Amino acid sequence: MGASTYISALLLAAGMGERMGGVKQLLPLGTKRMIEVSLGNLLASRVDEVVVVLGFAVDEIRPFVHADHRVKIVTNKQFEKGMSASIWAGMQALDPRCTGVLIALADQPFIPAEVIDQLIERFGAGEKGIVLPVYRGQRGHPVILSRQYERELLALRGDAGGREIVRNHPEDVLEVEVDVSGVVMDIDAPEDYRKIRGDH
């Protein structure tokens, strides 16, 4: 991996979780809360910094954000505007050294550090400007985008995320096959949560 590669992770945790009917970032998973697990996976990986974007229920969630020298917390006061507003808020806090932005979702806690490191390694090889995991033919998260896409990330509106940029630049996408279903597993509704509690 190139010495000049610097990966900044945006952990998006500002959503209202309307389908869940509560603060899903704080759902228990074993002895921890979901946001603790998702953040822990990123901190166990080779990311250089993690910008945690909070919004809805910020005062309830903040105590569960692990204090670490690599962690910055930003608040998206316009969280009702969707994922794009969280990306915008997080981008303002990026380290100037950042060469790649890794977009991770707080409701995807089953992505181990090994998978994240695999994506970082492939991104660092410089083959493509967009790197994402694929599980059994299905594209998943997290996605790493070169800093060259910063303007497009900042221009997103509504609930659009990195997928829109992926669609717009198919020639610059590198798919990395992984054997971890967590990359395509969202916890959006109570039935999703019941299922994963049974599986894990």
Domain residue extents for the chain: 7-199
- Above pLDDT 90, what percent of the chain? 72
The residue among 186 and 153 whose pLDDT is bigger is 153
Residue 197, pLDDT score? 65
Q: What is the pTM of this model?
A: 0.92
What residues pair up with 74 in beta bridges, in sequence order? 53
**Residue 74, pLDDT above cutoff 70:** yes
* Residues 147 and 98: beta-carbon distance below 8 Å: yes
pLDDT score of 62 more than 90: yes
Q: Would the pLDDT of 47 be above 80?
A: yes
Averaged pLDDT of the chain: 90
- The pLDDT score that the predictor gives to residue 156 is 85
43 CB-side CA count, 13 A: 16
Structure tokens at 159: 């609930």
Helices (H) and strands (E) in the chain, counts: 7, 10
Look at the block and give the residue holding tokens 């996408």: 173
Task: Give me the mean pLDDT over the 118-144 stretch.
Answer: 96
3-state percent helix, strand, coil for the chain, nearest multiple of 5: 40, 25, 40
Q: Tokens 């608040």 appear where?
A: 75
Burial class from Cβ neighbours inside 10 Å (0-12, 13-18, 19+) for residue 43 reads middle
Tokens 């979901």 found at: 34
The architecture CATH gives domain 7-199:
Alpha-Beta Complex (3.90)
> Residue 158: its pLDDT value, please?
73
Residue 171 pLDDT more than 70?
A: yes
Give the count of beta carbons closer than 10 Å to the beta carbon of residue 5: 18
